[in-house]
Amino acid sequence: MTDSSDIRFLLAIQQNGSLIAAARKLGLTPSAVSQRLQQLEKKLGTRLVDRTARKLIFTEEGTLLCQRGSELIEQFDTLMEDLRVRHAGLVGTLKVNAPLGFGRRHLAPVIADFQQQNPDVDVALTLSDQPLTEAADRFDVVVHIGELRASNLVGHAIAPNARWVCASPAFVKRFGQPEAPDDLTRLPCIVLRENNEDVSLWHFSRGKTSRSVRVASKLSCNDGDVIHRWACEGRGIILRSEWDVADAIRQGTLVRLLPAWRAPDANVIALTHNRSGLPRRTRDFMQYLQARFRPLPPWRT
């Protein structure tokens, strides 16, 4: 019969890809790792890993033990943490990934306040222009804006967020107001590159009518703050989230275009690996995050 330390040992080999890398991670010698693996296989009466000169190949039994074992380890760790929390409050490390602009402006203050209220929780925030393409298993929470493609992650609603076509007053004075989405194909536009999406194909609807247009963009960037600034400078039209442009529209530095046409919403959601069995710190952070954006998010107040 094996125990949790044996499962953690085998998972370390799988996650690091080689006995040498696993040895470094575990603080052991490669020979000690190899010997322990042999002892584990002997105890279970089955081969778990086929070792070749170039790589390790997990057998079906080894793969099954890692898959089911990782679930058991997660449940065990969650149970132990919940017991500690009952005695001492929230503890541990919370890893969060989020888009660059939204993370800077709206998420960073929330995280700082949450950590201040829970001083025994360490929060590691990573900002990225492609949060969904990174190794999601490295994070407890991934904040995403917009439609979620097929994913094994669980989505939690955070806040509503529309998308608007905008330009500066000077740009509108120079080029005029577009009257329909097709007009955008003849005007300079600026696009935001993120999540490997087809960013120059813009979709609109009005009632039962749908329209998709391919815009011409001489300027593009992976940072929303940059394209926002370019638009304010009159360099082109942007299709941007409400959370980013609502203040600029109220202040008059940007003007909303095509108000009768609706672009697909890009609601803010938070993604976790499971709906149940989450560590207490993750559950409490999710509730705190949702509460901070209700009843109305800051861009609608």
Are 276 and 154 contained in the same domain? yes
Residues 37 and 177 in one domain: no
Nearest CA to 136 out of 101, 110, 98, 105 is that of 98
Residue 57 pLDDT exceeds 90: no
Whether pLDDT at 91 is above 70? yes
CATH number of the CATH domain containing 252: 3.40.190.290
CA 144 to chain centre: 5
pLDDT at 133 over 80: no
Inside any domain, residue 22: yes
**Range in 43-52, 79-88, 237-246, 274-283 the model is least confident about:** 79-88
Residues 13 and 79 in one domain: yes
What's the pLDDT score for residue 137? Answer: 66
> Are 178 and 252 members of one domain?
yes
Amino acid identity at 79: L
* Residue 211: band (very low, low, confident or very high) from pLDDT cuts 50, 70, 90: very high
Q: Is this prediction's pTM over 0.85? A: no
Do residue 151 and residue 271 come from a single domain?
Answer: yes
Q: What percent of the chain has pLDDT over 70?
A: 92
Q: Please give the single-letter amino acid code of residue 43.
A: K
135 lies in a domain?
yes
d(CA 77, CA 39): 25
Q: Would you say residue 198 lies in a domain?
A: yes
Residue 135 and residue 271 share a domain? yes
Q: What is the pLDDT of residue 221?
A: 93
* pLDDT > 90? residue 155: no
- Using the predicted structure, report yes or no on whether residue 291 has a pLDDT greater than 90: yes
What is the extent of the structural domain holding 229?
Answer: 163-257
Q: Quote the number of domains for the chain.
A: 3
Residue 143's CATH number: 3.40.190.10
DSSP the chain: ---HHHHHHHHHHHHHSSHHHHHHHHT--HHHHHHHHHHHHHHHTS--EEE-SS-EEE-HHHHHHHHHHHHHHHHHHHHHHHHHHHHH---EEEEEEEEHHHIIIIIHHHHHHHHHHSTTEEEEEEEES-TTTS-GGG-SEEEEES---S-SSEEEEEE---EEEEE-HHHHHHH----SGGGGGGS-EEEE--TT--TTEEEEEETTEEEEEE--EEEEES-HHHHHHHHHTTS-BEEEEHHHHHHHHHHTSSEEE-TTSBPPP--EEEEES-SSS--HHHHHHHHHHHHHT-SS-GGG-
Are residues 251 and 112 part of one domain? no
CB-based burial of residue 252 (10 Å sphere; 0-12 exposed, 13-18 middle, 19+ buried)? exposed
| Residue 272 and residue 135 share a domain | yes
Q: Is residue 15, in this structure, part of any structural domain at all?
A: yes
Question: How far is Cα 6 from Cα 65, in angstroms, rounded to an integer?
Answer: 10
262 domain-assigned: no
Answer whether residue 140 is part of any domain. Answer: yes
Residues 272 and 156 occupy one common structural domain: yes
Smallest CA-to-CA distance from 95 within 118, 122, 76, 113 is with 122
How many Å apart are CA 176 and CA 188, to the nearest integer?
Answer: 12
Q: Which residue has the higher pLDDT, 129 or 34?
A: 34
pLDDT tens track for 232-270: 999 999 999 999 999 999 999 999 999 999 999 999 999
pLDDT band at 51 (very low <50, low <70, confident <90, very high): confident
Tokens read off for 246: 């609502």
Question: Are residues 47 and 187 located together in one domain of the fold?
Answer: no
Banded pLDDT at 44 (limits 50, 70, 90):
confident
Residues 175, 102, single domain; the answer is: no
Residues 271 and 283 in one domain: yes
